[in-house]
Amino acid sequence: MFAVLAFSIVLGCRSIEHICADAAFVGHSHLLPKSSGLLVDKLNDADIFTASSKQSSFSMRPRNANTLPRAMALYMARPKKGGKGSSALKNGKVQVKMTKFVEGTGRVGDIVLVAPAFWENKLKKTSSAVLISDEEVETDNALKSQSEAEALATAKDVGEKVSNTVLEIKKKAGPNGHIFGGVGKKTVVDMLKMQLPMGCLDSKAVKIKSIKEEESGKELKHDVKEIGTYDVRICLHKDVGVDFKMKVAPDS
């Protein structure tokens, strides 16, 4: 009985109902106070613990049916770890999605595994990442794939328009055909935007890869500085690059 009382106290069973429930469970119904509020039938250990027992003669009915001893609550079913939508440990690490660049950990959008302590003490406190489940990763990847497919389709459509374009740029030039100021790659993109529908070349992937003299095929290592016709290679997407003509004419 003293062991039962000690166990009940450790578990936090301070009320008389909790202590009485523990006492009744081990067969000491004669120790239950009459004021406990529990109706305990006469208990025979053999009836409960022998294999031949068909029905226990023990019954315990608390006055308040919604009240359960804390010792019993400990054995109630708990949610399983690693279920759908959870952030279960993977080899002792947690899965996070980076919301800020962290040197040695990842860039924005990266899915990485980090130690729980690093997540709690560094990433969480600085709002550099968020926990993400496997299901959320799948959804994120699906959206990313859809976005990439749309970007590729857009780049191909713009590429057709660009390849059919002849860009003409007029610059002041001397009698020998040498222009003043030169024409850089940024100027070429800006002028091309003016000839195409708005937004076509707003992607960060858009950049001029090369500018070559039409006659010699020589690639320029600097800005265009002479009147003439040039072949320009422009990148619209990592998988899409097209060529178009550019004419630099004297501004009269």
Domain ranges, ordered by start, for the chain: 2-73, 94-132, 156-250
Share of the chain above pLDDT 70, in %: 65
On the question of pLDDT at 95 being above 80, the answer is: yes
Q: Is the pLDDT at 39 greater than 80, yes or no?
A: no
pLDDT bin (cut points 50, 70, 90) of residue 128 is: very high
101 CB-near residues (< 8 Å, 6+ apart) = 107, 108
* CATH number 3.40.50.9100 given to 156-250: no
- pLDDT at residue 129, as a whole number: 96
Could you please state the CATH topology (level 3) that the domain comprising 94-132 is classified under.
Ribosomal Protein L9; domain 1 (3.40.5)
User: Measured between alpha carbons, how far is 119 from 90 in angstroms, rounded to an integer?
Assistant: 14
Hey, do 94-132 and 156-250 end up sharing a CATH topology, with the first three levels equal? Answer: no
The reply to whether the predicted model has a pTM over 0.85 is no
